[in-house]
């Protein structure tokens, strides 16, 4: 089952792992936030695997780095359902 949401007028799509800034946080808060980020990353990875049909290792590697895709590449990857072409009104 693929994502059935709508993305409009965005020429590029990027997938990336969740991130946070750890500035001046006490150690306990730092550890709790790191644990939450790991849980969030695992959840997002599972959702992407389920929705795209791509293997876990592919999604994990792609989330480790910034992966930019065109609309068509995002559709091929499985995170975009449909790429619409703007109607210019020309019927030639």
Gyration radius from the chain CA atoms: 17
Range of the domain at 59: 12-77
Asked, for residue 91, whether it belongs to a domain, the answer is no
Supply 29's token pair: 């808060």
Q: Judge if pTM exceeds 0.75.
A: no
Asked, for residue 42, whether it belongs to a domain, the answer is yes
Asked, for residue 6, whether it belongs to a domain, the answer is no
Asked, for residue 5, whether it belongs to a domain, the answer is no
Asked, for residue 39, whether it belongs to a domain, the answer is yes
Domains of the chain: total: 1
Q: How many CB atoms lie within 10 A of CB 20?
A: 12
pLDDT higher for 85 or 15? Answer: 15
DSSP per position, 38-72: HHHHHHHHHHHHHHH---HHHHHHHHHS-EEEEHH
Asked, for residue 41, whether it belongs to a domain, the answer is yes
Q: Alpha-carbon distance 92 to 81, whole Å?
A: 28
Per-residue pLDDT reduced to its tens digit, 25-84: 677 787 888 899 999 999 999 999 999 999 999 999 999 988 999 988 999 999 888 887
Q: What pLDDT does residue 29 have?
A: 80
């Amino acid at each position: 089952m693929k994502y059935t949401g709508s993305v409009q007028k965005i020429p590029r799509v990027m997938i990336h792992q969740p991130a946070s800034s750890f500035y001046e946080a006490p150690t306990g808060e730092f550890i709790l936030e790191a644990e939450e980020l790991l849980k969030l990353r695992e959840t997002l990875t599972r959702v992407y695997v389920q929705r795209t049909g791509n293997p876990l290792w592919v999604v994990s590697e792609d989330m480790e780095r910034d992966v930019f895709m065109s609309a068509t590449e995002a559709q091929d990857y499985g995170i975009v359902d449909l790429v619409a072409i703007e109607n210019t009104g020309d019927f030639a």
